């Protein structure tokens, strides 16, 4: 159901809205429910929440959503996808700023969603809670780290969910699950009180199933500034800097070129040159911050971390001063390039992933690097991104990244309205 259908049901019968949501949760297999859902209120509390919120006049009145289990919810233990965090960190005493703002808009918090352990991964694989699959595609990861959030929207349990994006954790799940998504900017108040991975790169974000619903969220939370002219954008495809699987480039190119012209040779060369090395700079700077976020626990609770995540965190204390300095230089140069780009253009479209949702044997370090090559230019740049799904012939999907220079950029509304109006 979309936003309008949930709002209508909640206004007519709050108890029925609550039971409809719980029925959707119960329809998941027990292992998938455990892998996706960290907490949800019981039927009585959920009915009360629907009744209260549906009576509001806010733009999201009666719309249920899940929050990634990094956003504090008063009185609810936070796990952050781990097996021990709730034991060493007291339950929050206040709601996250974003949860509070959504409540003011009338949204109904239906629960919290599991994630890749401590948000440090691009798959939904989790040794503590189980691996999340894309609904209807057993064994296919919905992408991470916002795996539970994306899968709950893709499975039509809720029409909307909160995620976070550090190196692609909204953009990749949106692409794999065929969702629309939005990644904000680091250091905003909506991410400041979330459990951190790397504060200089962490951003708040969200998912919806339709362009129209995402436009509603954007308008509710960020306003809906209208473009006073047709925005000017470019599309940088895979050629020359990223290697997609067979058949991906043709489909992605066709979708992107409906929204922006291909970059000319000079612009292409400049962008590719600027993006070269962004993955390495990201890996250095982000992992240093991630280590600092976990320094007090990393050695003491080593056996309680998943092996892969522990190793990624441990890497953050092993970089040399020279490596750190080189990464900072690259970050500065890339951000300068983005500043120059936005003096001329309003947006840049990039592919989101080089392949569809992988099976377990395809979740390799090499494939992780192929994804990060596409996502880290915006992450190192600290920029907001609109995610647009691109269906593939086999029923899976990939996506586009629309990189803009401000979370409230009118480009976002311009594109979403266009896609809404073109939807069948």
- Residue 360 CB contacts under 8 Å (≥ 6 apart), including other chains: 125, 131, 139
pLDDT tops 80 at residue 157? yes
The rounded distance, in Å, linking the Cα atoms of 411 and 47 is 38
145 cis-preceded (ω within 30 degrees of 0) = yes
Spatial contact of 214 and 228, defined as CB atoms under 8 Å apart: no
How many domains is the chain built from? Answer: 1
* Strand positions, DSSP E, 209-315: 233-235
User: Domain limits at 306?
Assistant: 1-424
Retrieve residue 380's tokens: 């190192």
pLDDT at residue 298, as a whole number = 97
pLDDT at residue 115, as a whole number = 98
Q: Cα separations (Å) of 338 from 136, 306, 332, 344, 389?
A: 39, 36, 10, 10, 24
- Cα–chain-centroid distance for residue 308? 21
Residues designated as active site: 68, 145, 169
Spatial contact of 153 and 208, defined as CB atoms under 8 Å apart: yes
pLDDT at residue 133, as a whole number = 98
The rounded distance, in Å, linking the Cα atoms of 378 and 44 is 43
pLDDT at residue 422, as a whole number = 85
The rounded distance, in Å, linking the Cα atoms of 260 and 258 is 6
pLDDT at residue 334, as a whole number = 98
CB atoms within 10 A of CB 61: 21
Percent of the chain with pLDDT over 70: 100
- Cα–chain-centroid distance for residue 54? 27
Confidence tier at 424 by pLDDT (50, 70, 90) = confident
The rounded distance, in Å, linking the Cα atoms of 318 and 293 is 15
In this structure, the dihedral spanned by the alpha carbons of residues 149, 298, 296 and 286, taken in order and rounded to 10 degrees, is -60
pLDDT, mean over the chain = 97
Confidence tier at 423 by pLDDT (50, 70, 90) = confident
Spatial contact of 224 and 218, defined as CB atoms under 8 Å apart: yes
pLDDT tops 90 at residue 63? yes
Q: Strands 64-68, 203-208: parallel, antiparallel or unpaired by DSSP?
A: unpaired
Domain at 116, CATH number: 3.90.1300.10
pLDDT at residue 405, as a whole number = 97
pLDDT at residue 146, as a whole number = 98
Checking phi first, is residue 261 left (phi over 0); if not, alpha (psi -120 to 50) or beta? beta
Work out the average pLDDT over 298-302.
Answer: 97
Spatial contact of 386 and 412, defined as CB atoms under 8 Å apart: yes
């Amino acid at each position: 159901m979309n936003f309008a259908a949930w709002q209508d049901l909640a206004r007519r019968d709050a108890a029925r809205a609550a039971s409809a949501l719980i029925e959707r949760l119960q329809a998941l297999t027990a292992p998938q429910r455990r892998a996706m859902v960290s907490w949800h209120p019981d039927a009585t509390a959920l009915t009360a929440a629907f009744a209260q919120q549906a009576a509001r006049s806010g733009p999201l009145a009666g719309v249920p959503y899940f929050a990634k289990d990094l956003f504090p919810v008063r009185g609810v233990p936070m796990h952050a996808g781990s097996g021990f965090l709730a034991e060493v960190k007291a339950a929050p005493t206040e709601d996250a700023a974003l949860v509070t703002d959504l409540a003011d808009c009338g949204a109904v918090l239906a629960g919290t969603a599991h994630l890749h352990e401590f948000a440090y991964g691009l798959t939904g694989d989790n040794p503590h809670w189980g691996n999340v699959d894309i609904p209807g595609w057993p064994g296919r990861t919905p992408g991470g780290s916002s795996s539970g959030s994306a899968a709950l929207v893709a499975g039509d349990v809720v029409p909307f969910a909160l995620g976070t994006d550090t190196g692609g954790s909204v953009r990749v799940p949106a692409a794999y699950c065929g969702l629309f998504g939005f990644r904000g900017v680091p250091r905003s108040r909506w991410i400041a009180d979330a459990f951190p991975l790397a504060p200089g790169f962490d951003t708040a974000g969200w998912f919806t199933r339709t362009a129209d619903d995402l436009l509603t969220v954007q308008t509710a939370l960020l306003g809906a500034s209208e473009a006073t002219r047709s925005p000017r954008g470019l599309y940088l495809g895979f050629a020359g800097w990223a290697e997609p699987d067979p058949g991906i480039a043709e489909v992605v190119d066709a979708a992107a070129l409906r929204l922006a012209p291909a970059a000319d040779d000079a612009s292409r060369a400049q962008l590719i040159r600027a993006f070269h090395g962004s993955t390495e700079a990201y890996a250095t700077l982000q992992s240093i911050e991630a280590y600092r976020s976990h320094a007090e626990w990393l050695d003491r609770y080593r056996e309680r971390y998943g092996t892969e995540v522990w190793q990624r965190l441990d890497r953050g204390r092993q970089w040399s001063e020279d490596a750190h300095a080189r990464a900072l230089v690259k970050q500065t140069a890339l951000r300068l390039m983005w500043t120059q780009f936005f003096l001329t253009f309003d947006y840049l479209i990039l592919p989101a992933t080089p392949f569809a949702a992988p099976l377990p044997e395809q979740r390799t370090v090499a494939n992780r690097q192929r994804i990060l090559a596409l996502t880290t230019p915006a992450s190192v740049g600290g920029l907001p991104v609109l995610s647009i799904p691109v269906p593939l012939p086999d029923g899976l999907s990939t996506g586009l990244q629309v990189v803009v220079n401000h979370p409230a950029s009118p480009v976002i509304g311009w594109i979403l309205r266009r896609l809404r109006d073109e939807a069948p």
